[in-house]
Amino acid sequence: MAQAELDMTKVMILLQRKWNAIQEMNRLTREMEDTFARNDEVSVDMLLQLREDEMGKMDRCMEEIWQLGEGDAQTYGKLRILLSSDLTEVDWETPEEKKIYEIRRKTQSLLDELRKADQRLSQRMAGKKSFYKK
């Protein structure tokens, strides 16, 4: 069976789309913090739905990426390395790999920021019932 070649451009595009969705989730979360401070429950509910939509976009991007590796063990292995290797110990071989790791780094940084904002918001909204109990 012929080896399938991993479409690195497609991986980069999908990872960038994922980053865009996370960036929008981060913006919506900050907006939710402001809206919650004004006690505007209707807007908070709307923003939660918009955030959920962005999570769906992010999930679909990852599903599409993993589908690129279906059917060929070597392609899947390459994809797995690109998407799950430790970002502090990366040794890229091509400009495409370098770009993928750069997108992953900025995505991880943004996710860390989003997680902190989400924690603050959850603790304000749910208090002791928060997922992030104090």
Q: Whole-angstrom Cα distance, residue 129 to residue 26?
A: 22
Prediction pTM value: 0.86
pLDDT of residue 132: 66
pLDDT of residue 2: 47
Confidence band for 5, pLDDT divided at 50, 70 and 90: confident
Structure token digits, residue 76: 């899947």
Confidence band for 1, pLDDT divided at 50, 70 and 90: very low
Mean confidence (pLDDT) of the chain: 89
Give the residue from 59, 32, 36 showing the smallest Cα distance to 48. Answer: 32
